[in-house]
Amino acid sequence: MEFSDRELSLRAARLYYDDGKTQDEIGDILGITRWKAGRLLALARETGIVAISIVDSADTAEVRPPNGIVVTDRSRAQGVTDSGSLRRFLHGLAAVDAIGLEERAGRLATRSIKNDSKRAALDTIIRLIDLTTLEGADTPGKVRSLVRKAILPDPSDLTAPRVAAVCVYPDMVQHAVAALGSHQGDGVTGIGVASVATAFPSGRSSLDIKLADTRYAVSQGATEIDMVIDRGAFLSGDFDTVFNEIVEVHRACGRPDGTRAHLKVICETGELRTYDNIKRASWLAILAGADFIKTSTGKVQPAATLPTTVLMLEVVRDWFNLTGERIGVKPAGGIRQSKDAIRYLVAVAEVAGDEWIDPHLFRFGASSLLNDVLLQRQKMTTGHYSGLDYVTVD
Amino acid sequence: MSFRDYAPAPESTAILNLRPHYGLYIDGQWTEGGGGSITSISPATEKSIAEISMADSSDIDRAVLAARKSYDTVWSRMSGAERGKYLYRIARLIQERAREFAVAETLDNGKPIRETRDIDIPLVAAWFFHYAGWADKLDYAGLGPNPSALGVAGQIIPWNFPLLMLAWKVAPALAAGNTVVLKPAETTPLTALMFADICQQAGLPAGVVNIVPGHGGVAGTALVEHAGVNKIAFTGSTAVGRNIARTLAGTETRVTLELGGKGANIVFDDAAVDEAVEGIIAGIFFNQGHVCCAGSRLLVQENIQDEVVEKLTRRLATLRLGDPLDKNTDIGAVNSKAQLARITAIAETGEAEGATRWTLDCEIPSKGFWFRPTIFTNVTTSNTVARDEIFGPVLSVLSFRTPDEAIIKANNTPYGLSAGIWTQNASRMLRVADSLRAGVVWANTFNQFDPTSPFGGYKESGYGREGGRHGLAAYLANGGAR
Amino acid sequence: MSRLAIPKTYKLFIGGKFPRSESGRTTEVLSPSGKFVANVAKASRKDARDAVVAARAAWAGWSGASAYNRGQVLYRVAEMLEGRLDQFVAEIVETTGASTADARREVAAAIDCLVWHAGWTDKFAQVHGGANPVAGPFFNLSVPESTGVIALVAPSVEQSSLLGLVSSVAPALTTGNVVVVLASEHAPCAAMTFAEVLATSDIPGGVVNILSGSVAEVAPWLASHADVNAIDLTGATGEIAVECERSAAQTLMRVVRPGTFGPTESAFSRIAAFVETKTVWHTKSLA
Contact assessment for residue B263 and residue B419, using Cβ atoms and an 8 Å cutoff: yes
Please tell me the distance from the alpha carbon of residue B420 to that of residue B282, in angstroms, as a whole number. Answer: 11
Q: What is the pLDDT of residues C251-268, one digit of tens each?
A: 999 999 999 999 999 999
Please tell me the distance from the alpha carbon of residue C150 to that of residue C156, in angstroms, as a whole number. Answer: 18
**pLDDT cut 90: percent of chain A above it:** 82
What CATH number corresponds to the domain at position A40?
1.10.10.10
Statement: residue A25 has pLDDT above 90: no
In this predicted structure, what is the pLDDT of residue A26?
A: 85
Instruction: Please indicate, yes or no, if residue A332 is contained in any of the structural domains.
Output: yes
Least confident of A266-270, B252-256, C34-38: C34-38
Which of B11, B292, B293, B389 is flagged as catalytic?
B292
Look at residue A330 and give its three-state secondary structure.
strand
Number of CB atoms found within 10 A of residue B257's CB? 25
Number of CB atoms found within 10 A of residue C35's CB? 9
* Alpha helix segments (H runs only) across B271-392: 273-285, 305-316, 337-352, 384-387
**Mean pLDDT in residue range A240-264:** 97
Q: What is the pLDDT of residues C93-109, one digit of tens each?
A: 999 999 999 999 999 99
Please tell me the distance from the alpha carbon of residue B288 to that of residue B281, in angstroms, as a whole number. Answer: 10
Record: contact B4-A97, CB cut-off 8 A: no
What is the DSSP pairing of strand B394-400 with strand B179-183? unpaired
**Residue A95 in contact with partner chain C when CB distance is under 8 A:** no
DSSP string, A106-152: HHHTT----HHHHHHHHHHHHHTEEEE---TT--HHHHHHHHHHHH-
Which of B186, B258, B389, B466 is flagged as catalytic?
B258
Instruction: Please indicate, yes or no, if residue A86 is contained in any of the structural domains.
Output: no
Question: What length is written for chain A?
Answer: 394
Contact assessment for residue B202 and residue B159, using Cβ atoms and an 8 Å cutoff: no
Q: What are phi and psi of B179, to 5 degrees?
A: -110, 160
**Pseudo-torsion of CA B134, B137, B143, B148, nearest 10°?**
90
Q: What is the pLDDT of residues B173-218, one digit of tens each?
A: 999 999 999 999 999 999 999 999 999 999 999 999 999 999 999 9
Which domain does A16 fall in, by range? 5-46
What is the DSSP pairing of strand B48-53 with strand B37-41? antiparallel
Statement: residue B479 has pLDDT above 50: no
Task: For residues A324 and A261, state if they share a domain.
Answer: yes
User: Is A279 a residue of the active site?
Assistant: no
Would you say the C-alpha torsion A143, A144, A145, A151 has a positive or negative sign? positive
* Alpha helix segments (H runs only) across B54-189: 57-73, 80-96, 98-109, 113-115, 121-134, 162-175
Q: What is the pLDDT of residues B9-33, one digit of tens each?
A: 999 999 999 999 999 999 999 999 9
Cβ contacts (< 8 Å) between C283 and chain A: which residues? 97-100
Which of A149, A210, A279, A330 is flagged as catalytic?
A330
Instruction: Please indicate, yes or no, if residue A167 is contained in any of the structural domains.
Output: yes
Instruction: Please indicate, yes or no, if residue C188 is contained in any of the structural domains.
Output: yes
- Parse chain B into domains and list their residue ranges: 21-259+459-473, 264-443
Contact assessment for residue A344 and residue A306, using Cβ atoms and an 8 Å cutoff: yes
Degrees, nearest 5: CA angle B9-B14-B20: 130
DSSP string, C154-174: PPPBTTBSHHHHHHHHHHHHH
Record: contact C132-B450, CB cut-off 8 A: yes
Record: contact C286-A97, CB cut-off 8 A: no
Which domain does C117 fall in, by range? 26-283
Look at residue B370 and give its three-state secondary structure.
coil
Statement: residue A246 has pLDDT above 80: yes
Tell me which of A91, A102, A110, A111 to substitute to probe the interface with B (most B C-beta atoms closer than 10 Å): A111
Please tell me the distance from the alpha carbon of residue C286 to that of residue B17, in angstroms, as a whole number. Answer: 46
For A268, residues 6+ apart whose C-beta sits below 8 A from its C-beta are A201, A228, A229, A231, A295, A296, A297, A300
Instruction: Please indicate, yes or no, if residue A197 is contained in any of the structural domains.
Output: yes
Nearest CA in chain C to A276: C287
Task: For residues A310 and A184, state if they share a domain.
Answer: yes
Alpha-carbon Rg for chain C, nearest whole angstrom, is 20
**Residue C285 in contact with partner chain A when CB distance is under 8 A:** yes
Contact assessment for residue A132 and residue A367, using Cβ atoms and an 8 Å cutoff: yes
- Average confidence score pLDDT of chain B: 96
Record: contact B481-C276, CB cut-off 8 A: no
User: Is A118 a residue of the active site?
Assistant: no
Statement: residue B67 has pLDDT above 60: yes
Looking at the domain that runs over B264-443, which CATH code has it been given? 3.40.309.10
Task: For residues A147 and A20, state if they share a domain.
Answer: no
Instruction: Please indicate, yes or no, if residue C94 is contained in any of the structural domains.
Output: yes
User: Is B292 a residue of the active site?
Assistant: yes
Q: Which chains touch A (3 or more CB pairs under 8 A)?
A: B, C
In this predicted structure, what is the pLDDT of residue C1?
A: 65
For A257, residues 6+ apart whose C-beta sits below 8 A from its C-beta are none
Nearest CA in chain C to B473: C269
In this predicted structure, what is the pLDDT of residue A197?
A: 97
pLDDT band at B328 (very low <50, low <70, confident <90, very high): very high
Instruction: Please indicate, yes or no, if residue A184 is contained in any of the structural domains.
Output: yes
What CATH number corresponds to the domain at position A262?
3.20.20.70
Cβ contacts (< 8 Å) between B461 and chain C: which residues? 252
Task: For residues A346 and A256, state if they share a domain.
Answer: yes
Position A178, amino acid: A
For chain A, the domain total comes to 2
- Average confidence score pLDDT of chain A: 93
Statement: residue A56 has pLDDT above 90: no
Least confident of A34-43, A178-187, B254-263, B412-421: A34-43
Q: Own/partner pairs for B239-247, CB < 8 Å, 24+ apart?
A: B240/B216, B241/B462, B241/C252, B242/C249, B242/C250, B242/C252, B243/C249, B245/C245, B245/C248, B245/C249, B245/C252, B245/C255, B246/C246, B246/C249, B246/C250, B247/B221
Tell me: ipTM over 0.90: yes
Smallest Cα–Cα separation from B396: which of B376, B415, B425? Answer: B376
The reply to whether CATH 3.40.605.10 applies to domain B21-259+459-473 is: yes
Please tell me the distance from the alpha carbon of residue C144 to that of residue B353, in angstroms, as a whole number. Answer: 39
Please tell me the distance from the alpha carbon of residue C111 to that of residue C167, in angstroms, as a whole number. Answer: 10
DSSP string, B225-244: H-TT-SEEEEES-HHHHHHH
Q: What is the pLDDT of residues A119-149, one digit of tens each?
A: 999 999 999 999 999 999 999 999 999 999 9
Number of CB atoms found within 10 A of residue A17's CB? 16
Nearest CA in chain A to B119: A107
Nearest CA in chain B to C126: B142
For chain C, the domain total comes to 1
Record: contact C287-A273, CB cut-off 8 A: yes
**Mean pLDDT in residue range B137-162:** 94
Contact assessment for residue C53 and residue C225, using Cβ atoms and an 8 Å cutoff: no
Please tell me the distance from the alpha carbon of residue B459 to that of residue B464, in angstroms, as a whole number. Answer: 11
What CATH number corresponds to the domain at position C228?
3.40.605.10
**Residue B231 in contact with partner chain C when CB distance is under 8 A:** no
Statement: residue C74 has pLDDT above 60: yes
